[in-house]
Amino acid sequence: DQGETPYAALARELDRSEGALKVAIHRLRKRYRDLFRQEIAETVADPAEVESELRFLAAALTRK
């Protein structure tokens, strides 16, 4: 259906409600964010540098 949102279409394909899909995606994104932060924390000398490193990476990824 052309009027269907991407979430609705995916939910239908997965035989889930749109709300359940949104919750699952929210949890997946949070889990990914936490794991990513942990990986970054292992690459810096001081835990206080994590935020700075994340900002640097975000800036590097958005440059053209």
| Cα 47 to chain centroid, rounded | 21
| Cα 19 to chain centroid, rounded | 18
Task: Give a yes or no: residue 51 inside a domain.
Answer: yes
Residue 64 is predicted with a pLDDT of: 74
Residue 1 is predicted with a pLDDT of: 62
pLDDT digits (tens, 9 = 90+) for 4-61: 889 999 999 999 999 999 999 999 999 999 999 999 999 999 999 999 999 999 999 9
Task: Give a yes or no: residue 1 inside a domain.
Answer: no
Task: Give a yes or no: residue 18 inside a domain.
Answer: yes
CA distance 25 to 18: 11
Task: Give a yes or no: residue 33 inside a domain.
Answer: yes
Q: Which domain holds residue 31?
A: 6-62
> What is the count of structural domains for the chain?
1
Helix residue ranges per DSSP H, 18-63: 18-41, 50-62
**What's the predicted TM-score (pTM) here?**
0.74
CA distance 16 to 8: 9
